[in-house]
């Protein structure tokens, strides 16, 4: 990866960690789910307000490392106004990007701003931090009643 881009991505992660977007509880949420990453200590709750199939509003609270918190922040920013199906499709692309081999390409056009996390694939233990908010959201969208944990 180009060093300038790497630097920019690191700054974006630090910015979202320091000033997370949509970082608050939502009293009138239709759906909520909690997720844990015991390896790192990340613990978040995701709140969603649906209008039919559309994610009308989405927020989160909790605590975790810079990767998990900024991933949750950017996820909520990316998904507001999207449909449930679009959210799932986006996670599939993000997951592909995060779990690809080091040096392998990914489709940046399909992940948009979430390309910020493309370097995380070099740190396998951090992939769980980045995907935790997504797994938590999916449980909120389609509840299975199972506890969301990365283990
Ligand atoms: Zn973490």
Q: State the pLDDT at residue 103.
A: 85
> If you measure from the C-alpha of residue 53 to the centroid of ligand 1, how many angstroms do you get, rounded to a whole number?
30
| C-alpha 34 – ligand 1 centre gap (Å) | 15
What predicted TM-score, i.e. pTM, was given to this entire model?
0.95
Query: Cα(129)–Cα(120) distance, rounded to whole angstroms?
Result: 9
Task: Using the mean position of ligand 1's atoms as its centre, give its distance from the Cα of residue 149 in Å.
Answer: 12
Say what the pLDDT of residue 136 is: 98
Asked whether residue 1 carries a pLDDT value surpassing 80, the answer given is no
Cβ neighbors of 45 (< 8 A, separation 6 or more) are: 25, 32, 33, 34, 35, 60, 61, 62, 136
Give the list of residues 6+ apart from residue 120 with CB closer than 8 angstroms, or none.
67, 98, 126, 127, 129, 130
- From 4-8, 24-28, 29-33, the region with the lowest mean pLDDT: 4-8
121-138 confidence digits (pLDDT tens): 988 889 999 999 999 999
3-141: CATH topology: Sufe protein. Chain: A (3.90.1010)
Confidence of residue 141 (pLDDT cuts 50, 70, 90): very high
Give distance in angstroms: CA of 128 to centre of ligand 1: 7
Distance 48 CA to ligand 1 centre (A): 22
Q: Which of 138, 133, 140 is nearest to 37 (CA)?
A: 133
């Amino acid at each position: 990866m180009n060093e300038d881009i790497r630097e920019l991505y690191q700054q974006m992660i630090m910015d979202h960690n320091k000033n997370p977007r949509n970082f608050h509880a939502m009293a009138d949420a239709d759906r909520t789910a909690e997720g844990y990453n015991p390896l790192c200590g990340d613990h978040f709750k995701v709140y969603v307000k649906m209008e039919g199939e559309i994610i009308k509003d989405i927020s989160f609270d909790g605590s975790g490392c810079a990767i998990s918190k900024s991933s949750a922040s950017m996820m909520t920013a990316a998904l507001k106004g999207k449909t449930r199906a679009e959210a799932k499709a986006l996670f599939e692309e993000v997951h592909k990007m995060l779990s690809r081999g080091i040096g392998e390409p990914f489709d940046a056009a399909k992940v948009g701003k979430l390309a910020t996390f493309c370097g995380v694939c070099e740190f396998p233990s951090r992939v769980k931090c980045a995907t935790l908010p997504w797994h938590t959201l999916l449980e909120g969208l389609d509840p299975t009643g199972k506890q969301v944990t990365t283990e």
